[in-house]
Amino acid sequence: MSPYLVLAILIVYFLALIAISYVTSRGADTQTFFTANRQSPWYLVAFGMIGSSLSGVTFISVPGNVAKIGFGYFQVVIGYILGYWIIITVLMPLYYRMNLISIYTYLEKRFDIWAYRTGSFFFMLSRSVGSALRLFLAATVLQLFLFDAWGVPFIVTVATTIVLIWVYTFKGGVKTIVYTDSFQTLFLVAAVAITVWQIASRLDLSFTGMITTIRASEFARMFYWDDPNSTLFFPKQFFGGAFIALTMTGMDQEIMQKNLTCRTLFDAQKNMFWYSLVLVVVNLLFLTLGALLFIYSQQKGIAVPANTDDVFPALALNEFGLLVGVFFLLGIIASSYASADSALAGLTTAFCIDFLNFKDKPEAVKKKQKFAVHAGFSVLFLVIILIFKEINQRSLIDAVLNVAAYTYGPLLGLFVFGLTTKRQVKGWPVLAVCVVAPAICYWLSVQAPVWFGGYRIGLEVLALNGLITFAGLGLVSHRGGSKA
């Protein structure tokens, strides 16, 4: 694909985003940035959350990972449903009842400011790293198929990408993102559907023929029950998925901030219900795409890249024609930017509300500080991406889930302790427990194969991390708290 065509697609795409931003941010103040004045249509929130939740990691790594584990990732996806059900029935009513902007305010009301800021800090740590890794993917693709041809350094590619995101989000914040994420999700889903259709057509497969071919292939395995020591063992993947959904959605300011912009609790619950169902279908579509990519390569004698993250980009841009190439670029940009833009808004909100005490400040001061914080997190994304480029040696889907398991575990422990006990914790011991728990988990993960006959800890490390945090909080707690 011509670099000039790629550049033209990028320009048109970002002009559309900026136009949406212009319309949605008129008359916006800091309250609009943080809450969208609680006027978001629930169906737009639900659809837009698909793009921000899936990200470029799903777009690239999930199809690529089919070569290694078949449809095994679907075990995690069906576990998500359990996590979303808990969010709908437990967390959403709590957040709406307390009328929260930052969900970590719950920890202050239940415990104290140490717990409040510890929770917010772990969110910011996890989301900064996770979203930067997702954005890394889009920048890498743009570098490979556009900027390398012009001799542009990778750091310039990354910086340009982040600046463009900043431009269309800095004023309207979450109100703009509700609309831009819906716009971007449309391209993400269209890119996958069109690619599946094109591959099936080139293999002369009808819909039923495609399903039969995939089921007969080496990539069709979905459930792993045979080896409890394996990280792919179904209960580990299923319950790991449930805890990932519970923490990375229900205890994540970025995602819940958009849910809290709905007019009522019932609207927010409808949004989460339909989002959970559509997300399962879309992930199944991604796995179908992955199987078709490798089946096509085998039948056509095409050598696939050693790094499975490169398979979809290589075939989409070099093998399947202009239509697939164009939509692939739109899809990878949409998926990565939909995740990064909402992350910037969520991180800015968390820092401003949780650390800068925005509640009683004049509007002029709020705007100035919000601007600086928003820009600061943009620079942080740049730094993390450049570091990761030098050290990454693993699939991005593995890297993101691994980071999440260690950084969201303390949040899980804090929220569950607050919701299920009447005990109280205060002061610096809260931070100490939340720092020590992930370290203990890492140590146990390293030692487990030696201690337990080859048993390898996988996604269950998130639940283990939360359990150790919960136990640690119990040790430093005393009677006198109250459940919110």
Where does residue 481 rank: exposed (0-12), middle (13-18), buried (19+ CB within 10 A)? middle
pLDDT in tens, 343-366: 888 888 888 888 887 777 888 888
Summarize the confidence of residues 367-383 as an average pLDDT. Answer: 88
Phi, psi of 478 (to 5 degrees): -150, 165
In contact, 220 and 71? CB cutoff 8 Å: yes
H or E segment to which residue 424 belongs: strand 423-424
Q: What pLDDT does residue 306 have?
A: 76
Q: What's the per-residue H, E or C state across 192-240?
A: HHHHHHHHHHHCCCCHHHHHHHHHCCCCCCCCCCCCCCCCCCHHHHHHH
Q: Is the pLDDT of residue 482 over 70?
A: no
Element (H, E) at 435: helix 428-451
Give all domains of the chain, ordered by start, each with its CATH number. Answer: 3-394 (1.20.1730.10)
Alpha carbon 93 to chain centroid distance?
23
pTM score: 0.83
Residue-wise pLDDT for 429-481, tens only, equals: 999 999 999 999 889 888 888 888 788 877 788 889 999 999 999 999 887 65
> Mean pLDDT across the stretch 280-290?
92
Tokens 């805890």 -> residue: 243
Q: What's the distance, Cα to Cα, between the start and end of the chain in Å?
A: 56
pLDDT digits (tens, 9 = 90+) for 389-443: 776 644 554 555 567 778 889 999 999 999 999 999 999 999 999 999 999 988 9
**pLDDT number for residue 89:** 94
Average pLDDT, the chain: 84
Q: Express as a percent the part of the chain with pLDDT over 70.
A: 94
d(CA 276, CA 80) in angstroms, rounded, equals: 8
Confidence of residue 8 (pLDDT cuts 50, 70, 90): confident
